Homo-oligomer: A and B are copies of this chain.
C-alpha cells in the first residue's frame, strides 16, 4: 500500500521514465544552444561547507537552507557542518576563487543542477528543483548582455516557444528615474517595491502605496507612472526616459548601456520596459526577464551583478548572468503539449517474444536488431503463452512484437507483428530492423 512511508520527502519528486525523458529533452536543448555560444559546463557538489553558504542569502536563506549534521561523535550535539546547495551563484564564486589560475579571463559557464530550499511547498514550488544558469565573468562589455539575451532566447525558441517577450531595463536608469521624480534616496527601495507590483495592482494601486508610504507627492507620482505606460517602440521609450531623466549622470550611463545592447540585437528580440525592477539588491546594471502570456511570473531572468562573484576573492569580478526556470518551462510545455511525440513514445521499438527452446535464437535476433540501433525489449519469461506476451507489449505501447514460431525455426525467418494494425508478416531476419525503423521514423 502506498503510504507516507513510500512517498518521496515533502516537496521533492520522483521522476518516472516519461518525466525523466521530458526533463532530459529540455536540458539537452538548452545545453546544445549554450554550447554553440561558447559556454562551458560546470558542476559543483550538492553539499558545501556551511560557512560557504551561511550569510550569503540573507536571514531567509539561512532559515530555508538544508543543513547537514556533523558526523560521528558530534552527531548528538546537533552541530551542522555542511549545507545543501541553495543556488548556483555562490558555488560559482567559490570556484572562481579556487581555480582562478585555471580559468580563462572571460569565464563563460553554464550549470544545470538541482538546488534545495526548505520553502513551504506549493503548486510549482518544490524543495528540490533545478536551476539552469549561464554567466559570463570578467567583462563589463554590453556585448555580454547581448550574447546572454540571444542565447537564452534561442534556447526557448528551439524548445518551440515563439510568443515570449524579453523585457529589458537597467538599475541605473531606475535610479535616474526615481531621482528625477524627486524621490529621496532612502525611499528608492520602497518605491521600487511598489512599482514591482504594477502588473498586479495597476497604476492606481501603486499611487496609493506611494501615498501611504510617503514616497512622493501625488502629482509627481502620476508623472512617474505615465513613464511606465507601455506605448511606443524601444526608441520612443528611450527618448521619453531621456527627457525625464534630464542630465542625471548615472541614469544616462544606464540609457547608453541599453542603447548599446539593443544595437547588438535583432530589433524584435527585446522590449525596453522601465517598470521591470527584478529584486532590489544584487544587480548593478542591465536587468532582463523573459515572459509568456499564460504564465504568471517569468520563464527566466537575469542581469549584471558586478560586486558579487568576487566575494571569496577579495576583489570585484564583473559578471552578467541569466537563469532559465527549468521547472516552469517544463510546466508550460506540458500544458501546451509542446513535447515532441517521439519523447512520449514507448520504452522500446520492438519486443522480442521468447518461446521455450527458441530463447537463444530470440536473443540473437534481439542482439542483431540492437546492433542496428533499435531499442529492443525481450520478454523475460519463456513459459508464457505468446498471446500473453503480445498483450504485455501492447499494454506498454510497444509498436512491434517479433518472434520465431515453430514454422520459422532454423530457417532464418522471424514473424513481425505490427500491434497498431494487427498485421503480421514473416520476414528474413535481416529485414526486420528495416521494417521497424521505417515505421518508427515515420511516426517521429
A positions within 8 Å CB-CB of B: 1-2, 5-9, 12-17, 19-21, 23-24, 35-49, 51-52, 63-64, 66-69, 71-72, 75-80, 82, 84, 94-95, 97-100, 102-106, 108-109, 114, 116, 118, 128, 136, 138-139, 141, 143-144, 146-147, 150, 263-264, 312, 314, 347-348, 351, 354, 359-360, 363, 367, 370, 373-382, 392, 395-396
Contacts and interface: CB of A to CB of B under 8 A. Distances in A.
B5 A38 contact: no
Given A7-B98, A20-B41, A21-B41, A106 B36 contact: no
A51 B5 contact: yes
16 contacts: A1-B97, A2-B97, A5-B97, A5-B312, A6-B97, A7-B98, A9-B48, A9-B49, A15-B43, A39-B347, A63-B72, A66-B71, A104-B395, A104-B396, A108-B377, A150-B363
Given A8-B98, A150-B363, 18 more contacts: A6-B52, A7-B98, A12-B46, A12-B47, A15-B41, A16-B95, A35-B375, A38-B377, A46-B128, A75-B78, A76-B78, A106-B379, A106-B392, A139-B380, A141-B382, A143-B359, A143-B380, A146-B363
A128 B85 CA distance: 13
A41 B68 contact: no
Assembly of this chain: how many copies? 2
B380 A136 contact: yes
A41 B17 contact: yes
Contact of A363 (B44, B106, B143, B351): B143
B38 A109 contact: no
A6 B312 contact: yes
Given A52-B5, A146-B363, A98 B42 contact: no
A173 to B, nearest CB: 22
Nearest to A369: B36
